[in-house]
């Protein structure tokens, strides 16, 4: 009986030991491994010597280039041998000790600048390893970083390497139907008939991205899709979609799908009727990567939208505006603010003129201009303001910031004399609510936050409301 109890007790002990081992294997070891992987990844992504070459590809991660890089040893200074580079690469992640010599250590050790660095801080030498404020052991990398001087690169350069991103093939789809295709450096074309019923066109791009370079790309990069004008001018481009991608190995590729809308948000195909624009697919990481070829990152597809329906926009419109100033201001420096905007006409009961001096002087429904948008003028005098009015040219913009002269479409009517003439020689800006644009119906259109991205045609041009300002769409 006693033997049986002993056997049961012995068996229970074995089971307990096995269970403990399994807990360690299942729970603790993966976390220890994961912590090690995270620490290793942090080191690889870092730049100990601040020379803009990350540790994972830096042959000398603890020796700065000081801006003059070795021809063949990546991230190394000019006057270094391959043996020295290998030693630096190996020891950069080793631990700093309080000793100035490697004598007495039974682990791999490296002497540099009167300091000994060891590969591990085991039980025999942990009392000699230098601790940081967080309790972790200080590495040679940490010591180098403390005194490293950042090597300055131009923003457009980024991290250089033998990698090269290209959009190998780009397809433009409507649903599942291919409408156009382009390859690196080539131009495709596509046409859509909106049947006078649609105000925009939903599309999808499939982009085949290749790294045709010799080296793996160590950082993430971005696909940017833009709609630009038909002449592919970059300053006309409106961002439609962006997608961030993880690093890509040498000679590998990746296919991505991106959906977006053409003919909206004030892009170059926004408007009414038959319109033309270009889709730009740009693949790059301009601020962080410098490629072998910086001129092969684009693919273009020329797009025609036929019979596009114009978007119905609830515009805020004014029949007239009033300018007020004295006639002796400095014409070069004076910038005035529009005194008031009127839903109807300056000088009528709904919108009295400045000081009521120009009420009924002609700025009313019976004195409609033959051309342009009505600008009422009141020249400030001590006794009584002089009055006048004129038409601003269709397409004229009064900015919300800075100032601009208002172009006239008609002569100035000056019943009280020529003093009011000076007001058209000054620069003007609108009120804080937003910029003003003279439209085809001879009304002033307001660009405010509620109309952000909306498009208006005036004077043979298309204008986009953006950030409270009217800007011409090129």
For the purposes of burial, counting CB atoms within 10 Å of the CB of 65, is it exposed (0-12), middle (13-18) or buried (19 or more)?
buried
Return the closest-CA partner of residue 321 out of 344, 298, 299, 305: 344
Mean pLDDT of 254-272: 91
Mind listing the pLDDT tens digit for each residue in 48-64?
A: 998 888 888 899 999 99
Residues in the chain: 474
Tokens 């696909």 -> residue: 223
Residue 101 has pLDDT above 70, yes or no: yes
Residue 406 has pLDDT above 70, yes or no: yes
Q: What local confidence, expressed as pLDDT, does residue 33 receive?
A: 40
Q: For residues 320 and 443, what is the distance between their CA atoms, to the nearest angstrom? A: 7
Residue 418 has pLDDT above 50, yes or no: yes
Mean pLDDT of 148-166: 69
Residues 6+ positions from 443 with CB-CB distance below 8 Å: 317, 318, 319, 373
Tokens 């001129």 -> residue: 295
For the purposes of burial, counting CB atoms within 10 Å of the CB of 440, is it exposed (0-12), middle (13-18) or buried (19 or more)?
middle
Higher pLDDT, residue 249 or 217:
249
Backbone φ and ψ of 8, nearest 5°:
-65, -40
Q: What local confidence, expressed as pLDDT, does residue 18 receive?
A: 58
Mean pLDDT of 200-207: 95
Residues of the chain above pLDDT 90, percent:
47
- The domain 159-308 is classified under which CATH number: 2.60.40.10, 3.90.960.10, 1.10.4030.10, 2.60.120.200? 2.60.40.10
214-246 b/e with 16+ CB inside 10 Å = b?
A: eebbbbebebbbbbbbbebeeebbbebeebebe
For the purposes of burial, counting CB atoms within 10 Å of the CB of 72, is it exposed (0-12), middle (13-18) or buried (19 or more)?
exposed
pLDDT-derived band of residue 166, with 50, 70 and 90 as boundaries? Answer: confident
Alpha-carbon distances of 384 from 359, 390, 418, rounded to whole Å: 12, 20, 14
Residue 45 CA, chain-centre distance (Å), reads 23
Residue 11 has pLDDT above 80, yes or no: no
Residue 44 has pLDDT above 90, yes or no: no
Alpha-carbon distances of 221 from 167, 299, 452, rounded to whole Å: 12, 16, 29
Residues 6+ positions from 345 with CB-CB distance below 8 Å: 319, 320, 351, 363, 364, 365, 374, 376
Alpha-carbon distances of 4 from 11, 15, 195, rounded to whole Å: 10, 16, 91
Residues 357/362/368/373 CA torsion (nearest 10 deg): -30
β-bridge partners, 379: 325, 386
Mean pLDDT of 204-216: 89
Q: For residues 216 and 44, what is the distance between their CA atoms, to the nearest angstrom? A: 14
Mean pLDDT of 333-344: 93
Q: For residues 392 and 439, what is the distance between their CA atoms, to the nearest angstrom? A: 10
Q: What local confidence, expressed as pLDDT, does residue 84 receive?
A: 94
Q: What is the CA radius of gyration of the chain?
A: 36
Q: What local confidence, expressed as pLDDT, does residue 171 receive?
A: 96
Q: What local confidence, expressed as pLDDT, does residue 363 receive?
A: 47
Mean pLDDT of 412-432: 89
Q: Is 437 helix (H, G, I), strand (E, B) or coil?
A: strand
Mind listing the pLDDT tens digit for each residue in 464-473?
A: 999 999 998 8
Residue 126 has pLDDT above 90, yes or no: no
Mind listing the pLDDT tens digit for each residue in 281-309?
A: 998 776 566 665 667 788 999 999 999 99
Residue 97 has pLDDT above 90, yes or no: yes
Q: What local confidence, expressed as pLDDT, does residue 290 receive?
A: 65
Return the closest-CA partner of residue 419 out of 455, 367, 395, 384: 384
Report the Cα–Cα distance between both ends of the chain, in Å, rounded: 99
Mean pLDDT of 201-210: 94
Higher pLDDT, residue 94 or 126:
94
Residue 311 has pLDDT above 90, yes or no: no
Residue 25 has pLDDT above 50, yes or no: no
Residues of the chain above pLDDT 70, percent:
85
For the chain, the average pLDDT equals 84
Q: What local confidence, expressed as pLDDT, does residue 8 receive?
A: 54
Note whether 120 and 109 are within 8 A (CB).
no
Least confident of 23-37, 199-213, 241-255: 23-37
Q: What local confidence, expressed as pLDDT, does residue 155 receive?
A: 45
Q: What local confidence, expressed as pLDDT, does residue 69 receive?
A: 78
Mind listing the pLDDT tens digit for each residue in 359-402?
A: 876 545 445 667 899 999 988 877 778 888 899 999 999 999 99
Alpha-carbon distances of 54 from 62, 107, 160, rounded to whole Å: 11, 27, 10
Q: What local confidence, expressed as pLDDT, does residue 38 receive?
A: 45
Q: What local confidence, expressed as pLDDT, does residue 27 receive?
A: 45
Higher pLDDT, residue 71 or 451:
451
Residue 443 has pLDDT above 80, yes or no: yes
Note whether 49 and 148 are within 8 A (CB).
yes
Sheet holding 469-472, edge to edge: 455-458, 461-466, 469-472
Residue 416 has pLDDT above 90, yes or no: no
Mean pLDDT of 324-353: 89
308 DSSP assignment: E
Q: What local confidence, expressed as pLDDT, does residue 468 receive?
A: 96
All structural domains of the chain with their residue ranges: 43-152, 159-308, 317-472
Q: For residues 230 and 11, what is the distance between their CA atoms, to the nearest angstrom? A: 82
């Amino acid at each position: 009986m006693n033997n049986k109890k002993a056997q049961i007790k012995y068996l229970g002990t074995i089971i307990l030991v096995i269970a403990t081992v399994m807990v360690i294997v299942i729970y603790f070891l993966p976390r220890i491994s994961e912590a090690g992987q995270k620490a290793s990844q942090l080191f690889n992504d870092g730049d100990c010597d601040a020379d803009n070459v990350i540790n994972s590809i830096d042959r000398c991660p603890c020796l700065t280039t000081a801006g003059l890089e070795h021809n063949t040893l990546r991230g190394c200074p000019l006057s270094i041998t391959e043996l020295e580079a290998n030693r630096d690469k190996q020891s950069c992640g080793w631990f700093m000790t309080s000793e100035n010599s490697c004598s007495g250590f039974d682990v791999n050790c490296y002497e540099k600048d009167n300091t000994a660095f060891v590969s591990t801080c085991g039980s025999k030498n942990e009392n000699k390893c230098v601790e940081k404020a967080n309790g972790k052991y200080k590495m040679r990398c940490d010591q180098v970083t403390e005194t490293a001087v950042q090597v300055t690169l131009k923003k457009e350069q980024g991290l250089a390497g033998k990698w090269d991103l290209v959009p190998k093939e780009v397809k433009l789809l409507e649903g599942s139907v291919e409408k156009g295709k382009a390859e690196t450096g080539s131009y495709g074309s596509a046409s859509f008939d909106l049947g006078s019923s649609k105000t925009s066109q939903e599309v999808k791009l499939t982009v085949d991205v290749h790294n045709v370079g010799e080296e793996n790309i160590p950082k993430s990069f971005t696909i940017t899709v833009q709609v630009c004008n038909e002449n592919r001018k970059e300053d006309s481009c409106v961002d439609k979609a962006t997608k961030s991608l993880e690093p890509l190995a040498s000679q590998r590729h990746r296919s991505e799908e991106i959906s977006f809308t053409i003919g909206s948000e004030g892009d170059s195909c926004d408007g009414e009727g038959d319109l033309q624009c270009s889709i730009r697919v740009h693949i790059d990481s301009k601020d962080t990567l410098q490629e072998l070829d910086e001129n092969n990152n684009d693919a273009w597809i020329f797009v025609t939208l036929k019979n596009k329906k114009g978007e119905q926009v609830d515009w805020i419109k004014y029949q007239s505006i009033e300018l007020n100033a004295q006639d002796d201001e400095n014409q070069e420096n004076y910038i005035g603010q529009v005194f008031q905007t009127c839903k109807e006409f300056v000088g009528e009961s709904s919108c009295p003129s400045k000081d009521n001096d120009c009420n009924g002087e002609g700025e009313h429904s019976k004195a409609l201009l033959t051309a342009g948008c009505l600008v009422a003028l009141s020249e400030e005098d001590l006794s009584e303001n002089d009055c006048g009015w004129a038409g601003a040219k269709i397409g004229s913009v009064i900015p919300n910031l800075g100032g601009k002269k208002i172009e006239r479409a008609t002569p100035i009517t000056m019943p009280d004399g020529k003093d009011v003439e000076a007001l058209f020689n000054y620069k003007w800006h609108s009120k804080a609510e937003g910029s003003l644009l003279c439209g085809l119906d001879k009304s002033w259109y307001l660009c405010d936050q509620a109309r952000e991205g909306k498009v208006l045609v005036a004077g043979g041009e298309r204008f986009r409301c953006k950030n409270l300002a009217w800007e011409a769409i090129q």
